[in-house]
Amino acid sequence: MSVSQQVFLRDAMRRLNLTRDVFAARIGVKRRALDTWLLPEGSQEARSMPEVVGRFVTEIVENESLMRKYAQSAQFGPLRDRIAVEGKHQLLSVDQFTRESVEELFRIADLMQPIARRHKVSRVLEGAVLGNLFFEASTRTRVSFGAAFCRLGGSVCDTTGFTFSSMAKGESIYDTSRVMSGYVDAMVIRHPEQGSVAEFAQATNIPVVNGGDGPGEHPSQALLDLYTILTEFSRLGKLMDGAHIAVVGDLKYGRTVHSLIKLLALYKGLKFTLIAPRGLEMPQGIIDKVTQGTDHVVEQTPSLNEGLVGVDVIYATRVQKERFSGEDLEGYTADFQVNKALVDQCCGPDVIVMHPLPRDSREGANDLNVDLNDDSRLAIFRQTDNGIPVRMAIFAVLLGVETLVQHSLRDVTWSPPTHIGPDDSVFHGID
């Protein structure tokens, strides 16, 4: 087997659209045995899958009639070509993806996990340089992209803010993009104006990744969010098809939710509950895109108590105060807050609570409450950790090295911690 058994089995379940319980029954093994085969390499409880099981799973995956029943029609050719924008290997919008191409990207992200977890090292991008061009404040996204590129052996050049850029002197987006393209091999761009990243992309043939364009899109955030949901659902024995997703907060200006809801719409039979104060509702154009020609259901409400009942995922966002001025924030008070008491009242023990971060942790803030920090249902730090393998996968695909990673791995020479966060909650199940 050229890939780890964890990646092999996860990919098989995704392609067949089966939960762990159904998959275990299909291949004739106990759920607990499957769980131990899915543990990361190096885990004390991890067990090797019998060779006969591997052959049987391969047979199932390669069974055309079964694949037609459970999976989408196949697309061929390299992933970078299938998601290309006008022939360019760039990532500007989640609209570039189909369900199949998303899941292929996630299979590559699974391959990156040993590197992201600091167990293995790869140098497939050695010599390549990333230009991290952030014309808007960022911590997580900028550092996450930089770390992902470095973990593959590349190096990073950063620039932050307008004040310290040539744009402050009147330089055009076209000129900036063309000049930087002569210096670096790929660019990640964040800009406060919607559509600006697309302008950068038009002026170059090197890979460009949209790191957020004002209230527009944030495709890499949506991808890591979906990857997190699928990973958590796998642990909990749930499928994405038919899930109930609640999106909470500033849905008018929140670019993360604009991208995420479109990406989630690639699946079947979802129920979306959109919970926002008056005046900050999801743009109608995005709702129309999600519902037209699909079996998805969209409900809107300003009430947290009504909207959170029975959901599988709570995706909370902060108010994007930097996006507007002088608008009435009626209903967006400290009471409009996802906290432990509310989650306990409205949701079950297996709900997943997410947030794109940053969250306002100050007392009295109307953001996701810190009293959930030690609750196993809070997935925000597992969410941010997942940003590294997903962004590594994006770079590997756009630069055409995804097939080289598995054969380039070697052990790390330092001693990483067994647990990154000292206060990370212990949760039931496996990774």
Strand order in the sheet with 208-213: 155-160, 129-134, 186-191, 208-213
Query: For residue 322, what pLDDT is reported?
Result: 47
Tokens, residue 186: 């790929």
Residue 322: CB atoms within 10 A of its CB come to 11
- Report yes or no on 247 lying in a domain: yes
In the predicted model, is pLDDT for residue 67 greater than 70? no
pLDDT confidence of residue 339 = 93
pLDDT at 134 over 80: yes
Which of 71, 92, 124 marks a domain boundary? 71
DSSP state of 418: S
Q: Domain for residue 25, yes or no?
A: yes
End position of a domain, from candidates 71, 97, 120:
71
Is 227 within the bounds of a domain?
Answer: yes
Domain end residue (candidates: 71, 100, 123): 71
| Coil vs helix vs strand at 151 | helix
Please, which pLDDT band fits residue 426 given cuts at 50, 70 and 90?
Answer: low
Residue 234 placed within a domain: yes
Instruction: Tell me what pLDDT residue 165 has.
Output: 56
Domain-located, residue 409: no
Q: What is the mean pLDDT of residues 85-106?
A: 94
φ/ψ (deg, to 5) at 249: 115, -140
Q: Is residue 191 one of the residues assigned to a domain?
A: no
Q: Could you tell me the two tokens for 376?
A: 């196993």
- Return d(Cα 4, Cα 136) in angstroms, integer: 39
User: Which region among 51-60, 68-77, 82-91, 362-371 has the lowest average model confidence (pLDDT)?
Assistant: 68-77
pLDDT at 204 over 70: yes
Query: pTM for this structure?
Result: 0.83
Q: Which of 358, 361, 301, 306 is nearest to 331 (CA)?
A: 301
> To 5 degrees, how large is the angle CA 178–CA 216–CA 174?
15
Give the integer Cα–Cα distance in Å for 428 and 7. Answer: 21
Q: Does residue 148 sit within a domain?
A: no
Q: Residue 295: give its domain's CATH number.
A: 3.40.50.1370
H-type helices in 123-170, by residue range? 140-151
Specify if 101 maps to a domain.
no
Structural domain of 253: 220-382
Q: Who has greater pLDDT, 316 or 167?
A: 316
Mean pLDDT, residues 95-110 taken together: 94
Confidence tier at 70 by pLDDT (50, 70, 90): very low
| pLDDT per position as a tens digit, 135-160 | 888 888 999 999 999 999 999 998 87
Determine the pLDDT at residue 168: 58
| Separation between Cα atoms, residue 53 and residue 193, nearest integer Å | 52
Across 68-77, 133-142, 397-406, least confident range = 68-77
Quote the number of domains for the chain.
2
E-only strand ranges, 201-296 = 208-213, 244-248, 271-275
pLDDT above 50 (res 22)? yes
Model pLDDT, residue 260: 96
Residue 353 backbone phi and psi in degrees, to 5? -105, 125
Give residue 257's pLDDT band: very low, low, confident or very high (50, 70, 90).
very high
Tokens 């020479």 map to which residue?
413
Q: Which residue has the higher pLDDT, 34 or 14?
A: 34
pLDDT in the model for residue 428: 47
**What phi-psi label fits residue 69: left (phi over 0), alpha (psi between -120 and 50 degrees) or beta?**
alpha
**Which tokens sit at 292?**
């037209």
292-296, 358-362, 401-405, 425-429: range with lowest mean pLDDT: 425-429
